């Protein structure tokens, strides 16, 4: 990053000065140039100030539109934190987020306005709404009335919400300096520059969308925005829109395979393919490597609290050089330069450094999430903001290989006790994926009658349950083998595109009622 860049808005503005006429965003109708998008953002920021005065928190009820991207930049231009809302969320959740984030104003595009109109009475967020269409946005001309930007690297850039273990939205504030550290490593690694055409598979409520936007804009590349139909067909999106860079969850590979496969050599223009958000299986990696035969394929890892990603592993070009792992997943590799990590006695990965956030919006959520150097357990019993020396406890179990490479084994909370035995769900899933014809597998604990039992859901070729049980019994005690195996065409996904284990649990529970009354 250049010395004078201290915020995400500075990142975009610097590129707009260097490459004003290059396309910053390509919508289905037409591209929007860097200078054009900057003018729209400035005009929108003036509109916000004129109508609502000084603002600290701006929500976006917009998706994959010029209003969404200009609104994001307008909020940053005003030094406000961006709070994305999701059109797929129920109104009460979006309302709760607006309350927790103390939102001053909501920017709504055409789809956001429709969402508001269909909210049941009394459920829409009780905040003023600035409504814009793309045509109105791009026709606006800024007056030049905005004062000089005042935000700095320590200010909050965006505030995202996870459901948390209790279901209460848990706010994760990320500061400009956290993202700048990520960009400084990522943009050169993936050779992002003018002429590059970047995918945009993530909703703005998913932190990985910040990669889509600001890795693109930091390098002067083009964000190629898919239509709804293209999101359902990654192959057509990548090929027809001539993408050079792909970034998605691994489930997108499985979705593409389920729609007829990934034809080998179909995407020769893809140069970099990066996957994040969940375990990336070798079967998925093989399918994508054949599809994008000229592409570097990389797995990255990181929770929202460590700013998008903090570890990486680049697959060797030769399949014979891929390292074997205990669960047939691509390693998460090594942590980024400038970050430090420790692995606790129970295998939990803990990371600190410039990308680590400073603590949750509600300090009570900090409890049990940070580790002091040399400590072996919780060192924040009363919550409170952790100092920079503390590690963030990811809640993920890893295995450190002899060469220092890290392999993701699963969540700590994916260890469950069945009939007195503590088991790791990922081990069952690995064995199932090794059965001929099985493509993906999820194993979940389900309360059935008076006991907790393991049940499985899988995709690929249907198989006889007896064969699946024998596959698992070869590596697990017979009394722990799941009793229900549900075959589906595709695993259910959550709004972030990851496998939705909660829905899987409901599906297999219903199957258990039908087959084992």
State whether 354 and 405 are in the same domain. yes
Gap between the Cα atoms of 27 and 149, Å rounded: 28
Question: Among residues 379, 410, 441, which one ends one of the domains?
Answer: 410
Mean pLDDT of 318-342: 95
Q: What is the DSSP string of 245-265?
A: EEEE-THHHHHHHHTT---TT
The single-letter DSSP state of residue 478 is G
**Most distant CA pair in the chain, distance:** 73
Residue 370 resides in a domain: yes
Gap between the Cα atoms of 279 and 101, Å rounded: 31
Gap between the Cα atoms of 386 and 268, Å rounded: 47
State whether 398 and 442 are in the same domain. no
Gap between the Cα atoms of 37 and 25, Å rounded: 8
pLDDT score for 166 = 45
Mean pLDDT of 130-136: 95
Residue 58, strand partner residues: 82, 105
CA distance to 207, 384, 410, per residue, from 305 (Å): 10, 15, 17
Q: What percent of the chain has pLDDT over 70?
A: 92
Helix (H, G, I), strand (E, B) or coil at 135: helix
Other beta carbons within 10 angstroms of residue 1's beta carbon come to 14
- Encode pLDDT of 188-245 as tens digits: 999 999 999 999 999 999 999 999 999 999 999 999 999 988 888 888 999 999 999 9
pLDDT score for 451 = 64
Predicted confidence band at 454 (pLDDT cuts at 50, 70, 90)?
confident
State whether 406 and 427 are in the same domain. no
The more confident residue out of 362 and 4 is 362
Q: What percent of the chain has pLDDT over 90?
A: 71
State whether 393 and 440 are in the same domain. no
Backbone angles phi, psi at 111, to 5 degrees: -70, -35
State whether 403 and 345 are in the same domain. yes
- Encode pLDDT of 108-126 as tens digits: 999 999 999 999 998 999 9
Question: Among residues 380, 410, 440, which one ends one of the domains?
Answer: 410
State whether 348 and 384 are in the same domain. yes
The structure tokens 């500061």 sit at 175
Residue 152 resides in a domain: no
Residue 87 resides in a domain: no
Residue 378 resides in a domain: yes
Predicted confidence band at 384 (pLDDT cuts at 50, 70, 90)?
very low
CATH code, domain with 391? 2.30.38
Q: What is the DSSP string of 414-437?
A: GEEEETTEEEEHHHHHHHHHTSTT
Residue 443 resides in a domain: yes
Nearest to 331 by CA among 394, 401, 273, 247: 401
pLDDT score for 251 = 86
Structure token digits, residue 406: 């890290």
Residue 295 resides in a domain: no
Q: Is the pLDDT of residue 338 over 70?
A: yes
Residue 466 resides in a domain: yes
Gap between the Cα atoms of 486 and 362, Å rounded: 40
Phi-psi region of 441 (alpha: psi -120 to 50; beta: other; left: phi over 0): beta
Q: Which residues lie below 8 Å from residue 438, measured CB to CB, with a gap of 6+?
A: 432, 458, 459, 460, 461, 463, 468
pTM across the whole model: 0.86
Question: Among residues 410, 435, 450, which one ends one of the domains?
Answer: 410
Structure token digits, residue 106: 């909501």
pLDDT score for 413 = 74
Structure token digits, residue 229: 């139909």
State whether 431 and 508 are in the same domain. yes
The strand pair at 370-371 and 391-400 is best described as antiparallel
Q: Are 199 and 248 in contact (CB under 8 A)?
A: yes
CA distance to 251, 293, 406, 422, 511, per residue, from 441 (Å): 12, 26, 22, 20, 16
Predicted confidence band at 486 (pLDDT cuts at 50, 70, 90)?
very high
Structure token digits, residue 494: 């959550």
458: containing domain: 419-515
pLDDT score for 51 = 93
pLDDT score for 422 = 65
Mean pLDDT of 390-395: 96
Residue 241 resides in a domain: no
Domain count, the chain: 2
State whether 450 and 400 are in the same domain. no
Helix (H, G, I), strand (E, B) or coil at 303: coil
CATH code, domain with 425? 3.30.300.30
Other beta carbons within 10 angstroms of residue 437's beta carbon come to 11
Gap between the Cα atoms of 241 and 27, Å rounded: 11
Q: Is the pLDDT of residue 49 over 70?
A: yes
**Chain-wide mean pLDDT for the chain?**
90
State whether 378 and 440 are in the same domain. no
Q: Using only C-alpha atoms, what is the Rg of the chain? A: 23
């Amino acid at each position: 990053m250049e010395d004078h860049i201290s915020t995400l808005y500075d990142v975009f503005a610097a590129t707009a000065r260097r490459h004003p006429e290059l396309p910053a965003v390509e919508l289905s109708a037409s591209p929007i140039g860097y200078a054009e998008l900057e003018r729209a953002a400035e005009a929108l920021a003036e509109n916000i100030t004129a109508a609502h005065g000084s603002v600290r928190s701006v929500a976006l009820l917009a998706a994959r539109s010029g209003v969404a991207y200009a609104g994001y930049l307008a909020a940053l231009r005003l030094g406000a934190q961006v709070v994305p809302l999701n059109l797929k969320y129920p109104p009460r959740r979006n309302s709760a987020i607006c309350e927790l984030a103390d939102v001053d104003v909501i920017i709504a595009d055409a789809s956001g306005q429709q969402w508001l109109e269909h909210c049941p009475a009394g459920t829409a967020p009780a905040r003023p709404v600035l409504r814009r269409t793309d045509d109105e946005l791009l026709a606006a001309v800024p007056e030049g009335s905005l004062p000089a930007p005042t935000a700095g690297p320590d200010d909050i850039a965006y505030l995202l919400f996870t459901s948390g273990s209790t279901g209460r939205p848990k706010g994760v504030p990320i500061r400009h300096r956290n993202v700048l550290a990520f960009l400084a490593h990522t943009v050169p690694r993936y050779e992002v520059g003018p002429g590059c055409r970047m995918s945009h598979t993530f909703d703005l409520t998913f932190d990985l969308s910040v990669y889509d936007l600001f890795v693109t804009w930091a390098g002067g590349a083009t964000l190629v925005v898919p239509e709804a139909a293209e999101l359902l067909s990654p192959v057509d999106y990548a090929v027809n829109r001539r993408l050079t860079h792909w970034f998605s969850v691994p489930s997108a590979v499985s979705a593409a395979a389920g729609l007829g496969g990934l034809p080998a050599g179909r995407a020769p223009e893809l140069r970099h393919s990066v996957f994040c958000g969940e375990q990336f299986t070798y079967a998925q990696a093989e399918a994508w490597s054949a599809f994008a035969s000229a592409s570097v394929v990389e797995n990255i890892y990181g929770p929202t609290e460590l700013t998008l990603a903090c570890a990486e592993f680049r697959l060797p070009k030769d399949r014979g050089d891929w390292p074997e792992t205990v669960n047939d997943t691509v390693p998460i590799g090594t942590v980024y330069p400038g970050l430090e990590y420790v692995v606790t006695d129970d295998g939990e990965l803990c990371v600190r450094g410039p990308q680590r956030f400073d603590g949750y919006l509600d300090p009570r959520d900090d409890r049990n999430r940070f580790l002091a150097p040399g400590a072996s357990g919780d060192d924040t019993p009363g919550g409170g903001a952790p100092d920079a020396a503390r590690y963030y406890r990811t809640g993920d179990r890893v295995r450190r290989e002899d060469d220092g490479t890290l392999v993701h084994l699963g969540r700590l909370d994916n260890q469950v006790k069945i009939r007195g035995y503590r088991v790791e769900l990922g081990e069952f899933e690995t064995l199932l994926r090794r059965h001929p014809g099985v493509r993906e597998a999820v194993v979940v604990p389900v309360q059935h009658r008076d006991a907790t039992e393991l049940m499985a859901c899988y995709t690929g070729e249907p198989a006889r349950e007896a064969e699946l049980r024998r596959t698992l019994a070869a590596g697990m005690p017979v009394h722990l083998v799941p009793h229900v195996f549900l075959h589906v065409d595709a695993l259910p996904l959550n709004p972030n595109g990851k496998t939705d284990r909660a829905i899987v649990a409901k599906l297999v529970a219903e199957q258990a009622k039908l087959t084992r009354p």
